[in-house]
Amino acid sequence: MGRILVFANQKGGVGKTTSAVNTAASLGILGYRTLLVDMDPQGSATGGVGVAKKSLRYTVRDLLAGGCRAKEAILATSFQNLSLIPANATLAGAEFDLLGVEEGVGAALAEALGSVRSGYDYILINFPPSLGMLTVNALAASDGVIIPLPCEYYALEGLTQLTLTVARVKKRFNPRLVTTGILVTMYNGRLSLSAQIMAELEKHYRDRLFRTTISRNVRLCEAPSFGMPVYYYDKSAKGAKEYTDFARELLTRA
C-alpha cells in the first residue's frame, strides 16, 4: 500500500515543488513505484517532469470533481518508475467546485487516490501555494507531512500557522496524519548565517530535522525548464546527489 506524503508549507519559494519532483524521481531511480500528484494550479510539478500543461485530457481537478477515475488521470512520464497526475490553471476552479460538496469537501483527494494506492510504493503530493480547499485535500489524503524549510532568516515565519492547519486537518479529516520531518533546503555552507540558522533549527526541532540538507544549487533551478528532474538533467549535480540521499533517508522514516 503506497505511503502518501505531502511537501507542505504555505509559503512560496521554499522548495516544495523542487523537493516533490526530485524526491519522486530519486525514489523511482531507487526502484520504488512512485506517483507524483500535482495540486498546484501553476502546474509546476507537471512541467517539471516534462508533461505539457496545455491539452491535458484529465487533471487533478477532474479527479476532485468526480469527473474521472484516478486511473484515468495518471500519465506515464519519461522517467524511471515515475507517474503523474497532472495539474494546470483549471485547478484554480477546484476551490469553487469543492465549496458545494458539503460532506466530502476535504476528503475528495483521499477517496480518489484510494483506488490506485496499492499500485505504488510512494505517492508524493506537490502542495498548492496558498491555504484553501486544495491544501485541506492534500493534507487529508496524506500519511505524512514533509516541511521544506529554506535555510534563511524568515524561514520559521508561518511555521506556527502550518502546524495549526495540520493539527486541524488531522482532527477533522485524517487522524493518521503525522509530521514526517523538516527538510532544510537552500543551504549555503559558505555563509556563516546558514550555520547559525541550522544551529537554531537544531535547538528547536532536533528530532524532526532530516539529517540530509539540500544545498543551494543552480542545476535545481535549471532542470525544470528542460522538463527534467535534476538527476536526469545533470547526474553529477550536487542537487542530484542530495535528493537521492534524502530519498534514502526518507525510506528509513516513512
Q: Which residue ranges make up the site for Mg ion (CB under 5 A)?
A: 16-17, 44
Which of the residues 163 through 192 are near ligand ADP (CB under 6 A)?
Answer: 185-186
Distance from C-alpha of 194 to C-alpha of 174, rounded to nearest angstrom: 35
Which of the residues 39 through 98 are near ligand ADP (CB under 6 A)?
Answer: 44
Find the Cα–Cα–Cα–Cα dihedral 104, 142, 199, 246, rounded to 10°: -150
Which option in Mg ion, ligand ADP, none does residue 114 bind, with CB closer than 5 to 8 A by kind? none
Judged by CB under 6 A, which of 18, 23, 77, 83 binds ligand ADP?
Answer: 18
The gap from C-alpha 213 to its chain's centroid, in whole angstroms, comes to 16
Distance from C-alpha of 177 to C-alpha of 171, rounded to nearest angstrom: 9
Nearer to ligand ADP, 35 or 220 (CB): 220
Nearer to Mg ion, 87 or 250 (CB): 87
Stretch near ligand ADP under the rule CB under 6 A, chosen from 6-14, 87-95, 196-204, 244-252: 6-14
Which option in Mg ion, ligand ADP, none does residue 135 bind, with CB closer than 5 to 8 A by kind? none
Work out whether 135 is an interface residue with ligand ADP (CB under 6 A).
no
Burial of residue 254, with CB atoms counted within 10 A of its CB: 0-12 exposed, 13-18 middle, 19 or more buried: middle
Stretch near ligand ADP under the rule CB under 6 A, chosen from 114-122, 167-175, 200-208, 216-224: 216-224
**What count of residues does the chain have?**
254
Phi, then psi, of 111 in degrees rounded to 5? -65, -45
Start-end of H helices in 51-148: 60-64, 70-73, 94-99, 108-114, 133-141
Distance from C-alpha of 218 to C-alpha of 172, rounded to nearest angstrom: 40
Q: Are 77 and 50 in contact (CB under 8 A)?
A: yes
Work out whether 35 is an interface residue with ligand ADP (CB under 6 A).
no
In whole angstroms, the minimum distance from the beta carbon of 144 to Mg ion comes to: 18
Judged by CB under 6 A, which of 37, 214, 230, 237 binds ligand ADP?
Answer: 214
Work out whether 221 is an interface residue with ligand ADP (CB under 6 A).
yes
Judged by CB under 6 A, which of 4, 145, 213, 216 binds ligand ADP?
Answer: 216
